[in-house]
Each structure stands twice: as C-alpha cells, then as structure tokens.
Amino acid sequence: MDELVQLKVQSVTYRRFLELQQLLKQSKSDNLAQAVGENLAEIACQVVEQVFGFLSQISAQQQQFESEHTVEQITATIGKHLPWSMQLLNHERLSSLMHDLGHMMSLTDGQIWLKYPIPAHLAMQLRGYSHNLNSSHDIAQAFSLIVEIIDQGVTQLVRDPKKKLKFNFMVDKSLAGVIGLTTQLGYKRLEKMGKQLNPEQAQAYLEHFLQFIPQKKLRIKL
C-alpha cells in the first residue's frame, strides 16, 4: 500500500489557483497562461524551499551558503521557464493541467497540501534510517533514499504532466533540459550533504523530511 508525501501550499497561493481554475472555466481565452505559469511557479518554489531550505539551517557557514545558492538557482530557473512554457499552451491544455493538479491538492486541518504517493517500503526504509544513523554509510544511504522519494514526486508532478501536454519537439527538449538541470542541482546538493553532515545534523534533516510523510493513524476496532 502506498503512503503519501504531502507538502504545504500557502493559502493565498491556493486561493489564486482556485480563482484561475474558475476563470478558465468561464472563458475560452488563452490570456490566462502567464498568470497560470506564475501561480504554478509559486507553488513549485514553495515546495523547493520546504525540501531544501532546511539544509542551510543545520549546516556550517560554507555549507549554508552553498545550500542557499542551490535553492536560489532552482527557484530562479523555475520562475523563468514555467511561465514561459505555459504561454505555449492553448486554453484546453491549460484547463486540463489545472484540473489534474487540483486533484493532487487537498485541505486537511486548515492547511492546503500538495500530495503524491510513494511505495510504502520507501517510507519505511527512511523511518528505519532515522533511528539508525550510526555511520557515514548510513547517512549517505538515507540521503540517497530521500533523493529517490523526491524524484518520484518530480515524475508525478512535473514529468508526467509535461508528457500529457504534448509540447512540440523543440519545446519538449528544452523543458526536459530545464527539469534535468534543476533536479540535478538539488540531488547533487543532497548527496553532497549526505557525505558532509555529522549524525546529529543528518538526524535533524531526516526528522524534518519525515514530516512530509506522516504515518497513518491506526484505527482500533472496539
């Protein structure tokens, strides 16, 4: 059975998302593309900040600078290319994209979450490492697992929607390059940190990341 990774979306951003969804239903115009791209870029940047931003809080000064620089590079690239790519879509494809992404967001306990499923064994392995970071090998393995979990989200939230939108060859190739660049920046940073952090720092990051994969509450039948 799958488990869910859930990442926060700010309420003001989600309200704008819903507003754009409604406007797309009411109008057949393509002039909402820029606004849709900016809104989706905002959501994506919020996700990046949650996943990678904490690294700078637990690192030494040089590592902190490198982590912050990585986040800035990723968010700048997203902010530039996502609005541009949305302007290449017609009304029908914009509506389809917003509809699909809307199904991946939900309100729970007053918070908007962007969710995607991962195989339960990945979550279980990561929780296991959170109680057993006794060596540099354990830390490196745990961070490799985090990269794998994040990449599942990239596939479901980015790669698969891109395929469905059926961009022309040149645009599709360009976007694939952007996705490859941004993911590798993040993954290489995580893998490097997995080799540099001490057990206490690594433990802090694992506990931070595991907040995004809440364990299901067991229901006890009386």
Residue 219 lies in a domain: no
Question: Mean of the pLDDT values across residues 178-187?
Answer: 94
- How would you classify residue 215: left for phi > 0, otherwise alpha for psi between -120 and 50, otherwise beta? beta
Tokens read off for 50: 């949650």
Lowest-confidence pick of 2-16, 52-66, 131-145 = 52-66
Query: In angstroms, how far is CA 183 from the centroid of its own chain?
Result: 10
The answer to whether 105 and 47 are in contact (CB under 8 A) is no
Dist CA 209 CA 52 (whole Å): 9
Which residue type occupies 6? Q
3-class state of residue 31 by DSSP: coil
Question: Mean of the pLDDT values across residues 22-50?
Answer: 90
Question: Mean of the pLDDT values across residues 167-175?
Answer: 91
The per-residue pLDDT for 29 is 65
Residue 221 lies in a domain: no
Question: Mean of the pLDDT values across residues 138-153?
Answer: 95
Dist CA 7 CA 43 (whole Å): 10
Residue 220 lies in a domain: no
Question: Mean of the pLDDT values across residues 53-81?
Answer: 86
Dist CA 189 CA 181 (whole Å): 12
The per-residue pLDDT for 220 is 47
Number of domains in the chain: 1
Residue 118 lies in a domain: yes
The pTM for the full model equals: 0.91
Dist CA 97 CA 76 (whole Å): 22
Residue 215 lies in a domain: no
Dist CA 3 CA 216 (whole Å): 8
Question: Mean of the pLDDT values across residues 138-142?
Answer: 94
| Residue 222 binned pLDDT confidence (cut-offs 50, 70, 90) | very low
Question: Mean of the pLDDT values across residues 26-42?
Answer: 87
Helices (H), the chain: 11-26, 33-52, 61-86, 91-102, 120-130, 136-154, 160-165, 169-196, 199-210
**Residue 219 reports pLDDT greater than 70:** no
Domain around 66: 2-210
Name the more confident of 212 and 90: 212
Residue 176 lies in a domain: yes
The per-residue pLDDT for 60 is 66
Question: Mean of the pLDDT values across residues 75-95?
Answer: 92
**Residue 104 reports pLDDT greater than 90:** yes
The per-residue pLDDT for 12 is 97
The per-residue pLDDT for 30 is 60
Residue 26 lies in a domain: yes
Residue 71 lies in a domain: yes
